[in-house]
Copies of this chain bind each other. A is one copy, B any other.
Amino acid sequence: MKTKLENKYLLCPMPITIVGTMMDGKVNFINVAHIGVLNASSPHIVSIAVNKNHYSKFGIKENKSFSINIPSQKQMVEVDYVGLVSGKDVDKSDVFEVFYGDLKTAPMVKNCPLSVECKLVDIYETKTHEMFIGEVVNAYADDTCLTGGKVDLAKVDPLLFDMSGVQYWSLGSVAGKCWSEGKKLIQANK
């Protein structure tokens, strides 16, 4: 049996991210789970959607750049914190240590296993949010989360955002290979 739900936000769980911006020359962070992937090819385009009330949007618009960082579970308190307080009221510049790539206005979080620096390419508006569309200029992984030179999600240990339960979840185990499991059905249909 199907139940129609009041809460229509069912695309879950999404990885929670830390978005790094620069605002009047000062580093600021927010957490964002309203993210999106527009394509995987080159240029690789991603999106973050931020409520129009959020302070960070000014920094993104001012510098036309931002970073997206994938935190690990052990950063949960700090990740949640930067979403609870606004950069308008509180200086969050020292919550995380940062590093920079090519864009000097896209501060990335040193302790996050994965980080991308993004150049703003467009803004798409909805009633309540602005979706900032960014081209990934460079992607970085902490060496501690690589296995054989490739990102190992078990080592990343990401935090997954669940709007229904208002909870963060951890990652489980490998379930199967993409573009491979389905071949069983191709064989069966022959």
Contact = CB atoms under 8 A, between A and B. Distances in A.
Interface residues of A, number: 100
Contacts of A153: 12-13, 162, 164-165, 167, 169
A77 B36 contact: no
Contacts of A46: 11
Interface in A159-190: 159-186
B80 A126 contact: no
B84 A129 contact: no
B36 A36 contact: yes
Interface in A60-100: 68, 70, 73, 76-85, 95, 99
Interface of A: 1-5, 7-15, 17, 33-47, 49, 51, 68, 70, 73, 76-85, 95, 99, 101, 114-116, 124, 126-129, 131, 133, 136, 138-143, 146, 149-153, 158-186
